[in-house]
Structure 1
Amino acid sequence: MFDNLFNSYNFRSPNFRRKMYILAQGISRYNISKKAVLNETICFPKISEQKQIGKLIKLMNSLLSLQQRKLELENKLKKQIAFYLYSFTLTPNFKHIEVKNKKLGDIVNISNGIMGDSQKKSGNFKLTRIETISNGKIDLSRTGYIDQVSDEKKFLEVGDILYSNINSLTHIGKNAIVKEKHLPLVHGINLFRLHITNNQITPNYLHGLLNLPKYKWWVKSHANPAVNQASINKTELSSLVIKYPDLDIQNQINNINYSFAQYWDIQYSKKESLCQLKQFLLQNLFI
């Protein structure tokens, strides 16, 4: 009467779990009565349909696993290619490429963030304050708010780089580029704003450069360690010497990285679509 594969997904379906939520009792820890579960009714189709449904969900799980593995491998490939693209111009083997050496403080203006009420979620706030960076992007899920800014120069601009100055040694130095869709914004005290003042380097190239292991190691070695988190000040960060080629090579590298980012986003969207499809099937095939 029952197909085990079908039931394994049936008992994990949203509809069945909702029935179990109702049966759960307790205060700090919830329990479900065996008798109550055995008295619960379930609906199921004939055995031939059960087998087809079980095989379908199993296939969806296989596709999701393969897509996740593909994303992991492509992410590694993207990082390796990015490392090569930024590193090859900085090695002695490429003497025909002119490389400039500059202190970071000579090409960017580094400014501190603004304090505000991170708990303020409603009221007469005007600006969102960025608090954290996640996976190389501005994290809009954890923000604070302020009512006003006395100096308009503190507004973030497109192309600015937000740089994590206080965090664990593993995460200090994370950075992200401000994009137009994120404006208007200001940044919190745990982030530096790097505003490029030198027209010989592009924001995207500097963003990739700062993520090279050699520069991350430099920041960690010059950070002030603490019990819970490390920090680096503006003076130390300004003294970081970076190397970069001319704008033409920078733009070629930026275009390659952009193509890889677009491809990765497409693959990630495929994974999200598969997750939504699986959820739809679990919701509608098991009632």
Structure 2
Amino acid sequence: MKDEKRLFPKRRFKGFVGEWKEIDLGSIGSTFSGLSGKTKNDFGHGTAEFVTYMNVFNNTISNINLTEKVVRDDKQTQLEYGDILFTTSSETPNEVGMSSVWLDKRPNVYLNSFCFGFRPTIKFDYYYIGYMLRANSYRKQMEILAQGISRYNISKAKVLETVVLLPSVQEQQKIGEFFKLLDERITNQERKITKLNALKSAYLTEMFPQEDETVPKRRFKGFEDEWANELLSNISDVRDGTHDSPKYYSEGYPFITSKNVSDGYINYEDIQYISEEDFNQINKRSKVDTNDILMGMIGTVGNIALIREEPYFAIKNVALIKDTKQVNQLYLYYFFQSNFLKKQLIDGMDGGTQKFISLYKIRNLTILIPNKNEQQKIGQFFKNLDDQITTEEAKLEKLKQMKVAFLEEMFV
């Protein structure tokens, strides 16, 4: 005997029982089209606005400030408070028919031509319906209905055939408010991270000298001496990886190139593997050790990584800046993020479509060096700031994972 479909969620607020109502979307409203009959001359000015495709795609509740100008046209359908907006196409079926709820009452706001709207005829909690339409249970319906090969589309008629499940208005309000507050926490966490990154950027500007300067704008108390001027090759052993192209395998020893060096770390997501023989041969001249710095030389020039634990890979198209103990390596790592150093890299790049920088130019980069105590202070300051950013990013990821889990458990 086939199992009957369960019409209530796995997780509910206390006091709510009973099944939810299963309703075809077409029975509780009608659709309308986005902008039509417009030319490029109608956009970018005028007294009317339209909601962009990306606004609909990215936001459960439309961002009322993310609109663009268009010439007013009374023949177009104006958006009303509570309208549900759907995207019509995407490159993948799992992103077709993304929805967003419009909660604003100002006049002369239209919908872009690559979306369509749904205007409900019944009352429900708008936040509940917004999150319900983005829950996995509803999104699966959209994926099944998506049509196409290189690009996937969904029609208004097909969307009207989809099924929504509605609890009582009181339960809708509880669920809607819960996800609204969770999204606000996520947004606040994102803002905190943005502020920390902006703070780091400001400190990188102020705590390292600018071009033609020998002292920075901001210093720790007690330090007044001018900074020394040295070539990188005089304070570090600077090498590069292999210039050959070894044979790749589905498994073996990781082979790091410039694309794998980003944001201070090695990215292993898109990586090639080489044989033990090639690995040993490359590492005879370019072995990477803990505390070394790697920098991209081709394509993603200037991306860096500090090796924090024992490495187990070989390198190509990557500059290897060995830790020789002549300079505090943590200080040097952050100096490579300064505007002073970045300008030298930009000025030293060669190539057309794909930029690169030679090992010779890297070895001749100018490094400004304070005394050892100031180096240690600066390096530790930025490490603490980076650690704080990492902690806040982990909190953000946890909130996002929590949201995914609740979307799965609190909707049918």
TM-score for both structures, normalised by structure 2:
0.62
Is 2:373 the partner of 1:248?
yes
Aligned equivalent of 1:66, options 162, 167, 188: 188
Structure with the higher fraction of residues in helix conformation: 1
Is the contact made by 1:90 and 1:244 (CA closer than 8 Å) also made in structure 2? no
Question: Structure 1 residues 217 and 28, CA, compared in 2 at 3 Å: closer, same or farther?
Answer: closer
Q: Which deviates more from structure 2 when the two are superposed, residues 8-17 or residues 147-156?
A: 147-156
**Partner secondary structure for residue 2 of structure 1:** coil
Q: Which has the larger radius of gyration?
A: 2
- Secondary structure, in 3 states, of the residue corresponding to 2:326? coil
Find the aligned partners of 1:121 and 1:37 in 2 and give their Cα distance: 43
Letter in 2 for 1:47: V
Query: CA offsets, 1:89-111, max 9 Å, x none?
Result: 94188884253322111122222
Asked if the contact 1:119–1:144 (Cα under 8 Å) also holds between the matched residues in 2, the reply is yes
| SS of the residue 1:229 aligns to | coil
Aligned to 2:322: 195
Aligned CA distance change for structure 1 residues 117 and 32 (closer, same or farther; 3 Å) = farther
Hey, what does 2:175 align to over in structure 1?
53
Pick which of 206-215 and 92-101 moved more. Answer: 92-101
SS at match of 2:353: coil
Q: Give 2:401's aligned residue.
A: 276
* C-alpha contact (below 8 Å) 1:138/1:176 kept by paired residues: yes
Structure 1 counterpart of 2:367, one-letter code: I
Task: Give how far 1:44 is off.
Answer: 2.3
1:228 correspondence with 2:358: no
Q: Does residue 79 of the first structure (1) align with residue 201 of the second (2)? A: yes
Structure with larger RCO (C-alpha < 8 A, sep 6+): 1
Give 1:77 deviation, angstroms: 0.3
How far residue 64 of structure 1 moved from its aligned partner, in angstroms, is 1.2
Partner of 1:97: 225
CA displacement at 1:140 relative to structure 2: 1.9
The 1:276–1:92 alpha-carbon spacing in structure 2 relative to 1, beyond 3 Å, is closer
- Partner of residue 262, structure 1: 387
Q: How many residues align?
A: 278
**Alignment-mate amino acid for residue 286 of structure 2:** K
After superposition, residues 205-220 of structure 1 pair within 5 angstroms as 205-220=331-346
State the 1:15 CA deviation: 0.9
Residue 184 of structure 1 deviates from its aligned partner by 1.0
What is the Cα-based RMSD across aligned positions, in Å? 2.5
Which one of the candidate residues 300, 307, 310 is aligned to 1:178?
Answer: 307
Mapped to 1, the partners of 2:274 and 2:400 lie a distance apart of 37
- Deviating more after overlay: 49-58 vs 147-156: 147-156
Give ranges in structure 2 of 5+ residues lacking alignment. Answer: 1-122
TM-score, length of structure 1 as denominator length: 0.86
